[in-house]
Amino acid sequence: MKQKIKILAVLTAGMISSNALALQQTLTGTFNTIQAVDIQPFNGGLVMAGLNLTAGSQCILAASTDGTGTGYLGDQAMRIGGITANAAGSTISTTTGVGCLGSSSGGTIGTFEITGAPGATVNVTITDGANADLLLTPSGCVANYIAGANGDTCVIVNEATPASIRLAGPTDTGTLGEGTPISGTALVALGGIAEAARQLDPSVPYTVDFQIDVTY
C-alpha cells in the first residue's frame, strides 16, 4: 500500500515576531488499496454421476493433491509453469467407490479461478458441503506461483488443509512446454467424495453447496 501526503494549505506570514506563532495545517493522506480478491467457477463446477440410491453410497472423483499422478489436470490446464511439464492424468474423469456406478467418463473435476493483486499471497480454505440429500468432501490442489520462470507447483487444499499460495505475477512464465501463468490469477482443481445422506430418488440431478474462501 502506497502512502502519499499532500499539503493542501500553508499559512505564511510576512513578519514574525520573537513570540511563538502557532501554525495549523490541513493534511490529506492518499492511500492506494489492493485489488479485491475473488473466486469464480471456471469450467462449470464439480460433477459426479452414477451414485447409487441407498443411503451411505459413495462416489469418488480423485483429483490430484500435489500436481502429479493420474488425477492431475495437467500443467497446461492449470496454467502452471512447473518444474517439469506434467501432462494430464488418465483418470481425471473416472469415478469409483462403494455404491457408485463406476465410469471412466462419469466425472468432471471442478476448476475455480482466483483473481487478485498480481504476485500477492492469499489464503484458500474449503468447507465441506452437506444437506438432507448429499454429503460432499472436496479435495484437490491450487496453483502456487514462484516469481520468474518455471518452479510453480499445485499444492494440496481441502477442509483439513488450507493453502497459502502466491498468485501469478507479471514476470511468471513457463519455458518447458507446460502451462502459461496469467498475472493476478490462480486455478483451484477439486474432486472429492459424494455420499448419499438418505435413500435417493432415481434419475434426479442432486446438488450440494460447499464453500471456498479466499482472503489476503
Please identify which residue in the block is written with the cell numbers 493420474.
70
List, in sequence order, every residue forming a beta bridge with 194; answer none if it has no partner.
59, 136
Residues 88-104: pLDDT tens digits? 999 999 999 999 998 88
Asked which of 80-84, 175-179, 185-189 is least confident by mean pLDDT, the reply is 175-179
- At residue 7 the predicted structure's pLDDT band, cuts being 50, 70 and 90, is very low
The grid cell for 67 is 500436481
Instruction: Give the residues across from 30 on adjacent strands.
Output: 4
DSSP letter at 170 equals: T
Output phi, psi for 111, to 5 deg.
Answer: -120, 140
Q: Tell me the sheet residues that pair with 88.
A: none
Average pLDDT, the chain: 90
Kindly report, residue by residue over 195-204, the tens digit of the pLDDT.
999 999 999 9
The 10s digit of each residue's pLDDT in 120-166 is 999 999 999 999 999 999 999 999 999 999 999 999 999 999 999 99
Q: Where are the domains of the chain?
A: 35-215
Q: Is the pLDDT of residue 179 over 50?
A: yes
**Size of the chain in residues:** 216
Which cell numbers hold the place of 192? 472429492
Q: Which residue has the higher pLDDT, 3 or 51?
A: 51
Look at residue 178 in the predicted model and tell me its pLDDT. 86
Say how far apart CA 187 and CA 181 lie, in whole Å. 10
Mean pLDDT, residues 101-124: 95
Cell numbers linked to 176: 518447458
What's the whole-model pTM score?
0.85
- For residues 94 and 7, give the distance between their C-alpha atoms in angstroms, rounded to a whole number: 65
Confidence tier at 24 by pLDDT (50, 70, 90): confident
Residue 189, C-alpha cell as written in the block: 482443481
- How many CA atoms lie within 13 Å of 125's alpha carbon, on the beta-carbon side? 6
